[in-house]
Amino acid sequence: MAGRGVQLDETQRRDWLRLIRTENVGPRAFRNLVNRFGGAAAALEALPAMARRGGGLFPPRIPSVSEIEAEMEALARLGGRFIALGEPDYPALLREIDDAPPLIAVRGRLPLLNRPTVGVVGSRNASGAGRTMTARIARGLGEAGWVVASGLARGIDTTAHEASLASGTIAVIAGGQDRPYPRENEALMARIAEEGLVLTEMPMGWEPRARDFPRRNRLVSGLSLGIVVVEAAERSGSLITARLAGEQGREVFAVPGSPLDPRAGGANALIQQGAGLVTSARDIIEALAPLREHLGARSMEEPAGELADEEPSEDTRSRIVTLLSPSPMKVDDLVQLSGASVAEVLIVLLEIELAGRLERHSGGSVSLL
């Protein structure tokens, strides 16, 4: 993968976009492929053979050069651009997460991407008290020099963006840059694209689906030093964001609410589990001050590739595949039980993933589809 400070040329950027837009290639597979083959162009050539070895009946669909150029031109017409992992404008904190998107499509004020950021999320069906608290927190964070990130959803997200528009806000969306969602926030998204920043990893023309929102949530937390949950029911997407934040090593905060209001159940549960209790922006600012001071000193070196140059033997492949099932299994356990090296297991898993037969779970587990 490109090291921090590297600038892709347009041919490399096009190849990166072709690879990440290829069927069955997600951020982790992208990273493994580029590390193994030394670049996106070589990885694209190797994909069909790898998918066959993984049991795929057909090679994964790779977008044509013309399709990718059309997407790049469409984004440029909106005033946006693609930033690649490792380029100077790529958000430093986002780059640290395991499944950082290789390319992000952005519109707006690029300097916001590398300012200290707090994510503010909560209920779509927010109460008046919840909205008022959100606005106070967002304004307080903005006055102290923090950028506020959220997901452009109804309710708490909308209030967080509106209250921080003047000081700096980032809207992370689950669809393409040309697909505002929800439609009622189309005007707000346009304002953020002018005064703040809109970010997505999804293709132009992409209409968000239910499974795209957790993917978006990991970017909200990945951009942020901490996540604040204002209102959230006990089964809320905001709790997914909080869980992802914890897995990413981010701080988690929550605003307490009445036990009689189901919209407060999830936030209250987070506090019981150890999240920081928030009554004002000052609580967040003071807790994150040490992290903000050391933000510039954090190491942003790209992890070295772990994939071996030699192909695993058929016997090794067979042992690894036999151990897999529809039940999630940790990769570390797969290495131990198969007797194969870490590099060999990663290659076989990558081949199965390219064939569309592997599902990755949080915590480093995998299962067969």
Residue-wise pLDDT tens digits, 303-313: 444 555 668 88
Q: What is the pLDDT of residue 302?
A: 42
Q: What is the pLDDT of residue 234?
A: 87
The H-or-E segment that residue 317 falls in is helix 314-323
| Side-chain half-sphere CA neighbours of 57 within 13 A | 0
Q: What is the pLDDT of residue 304?
A: 41
Query: Could you tell me where the DSSP H helices lie in 144-263?
Result: 156-164, 186-195, 212-222, 237-247
Quick check: helix, strand or coil at residue 25? coil
Q: What is the pLDDT of residue 2?
A: 54
Q: What is the pLDDT of residue 300?
A: 38
Q: Which residues contact 96 (CB under 8 A, 6 or more apart)?
A: 222, 248, 298, 300
Q: What is the pLDDT of residue 296?
A: 54
- Phi, psi angle pair for 88, to nearest 5°: -55, -35
Q: Which residue's entry shows tokens 């009689």?
A: 260
Quick check: helix, strand or coil at residue 233? coil
Q: In tens digits, what is the pLDDT along the chain, a chain of 369 residues?
A: 655 567 899 999 999 999 999 999 999 999 999 999 999 999 999 999 999 999 998 999 999 999 999 999 999 999 999 999 999 999 999 999 999 999 999 999 999 999 999 999 999 999 999 999 999 999 999 999 999 999 999 999 999 999 999 999 999 999 999 999 999 999 999 999 999 999 999 999 999 999 999 999 999 999 999 999 999 998 888 999 999 999 999 999 999 999 999 999 999 999 999 999 999 999 999 999 998 876 654 443 444 445 556 688 899 999 999 999 999 999 999 999 999 999 899 999 999 999 999 998 877 899 999
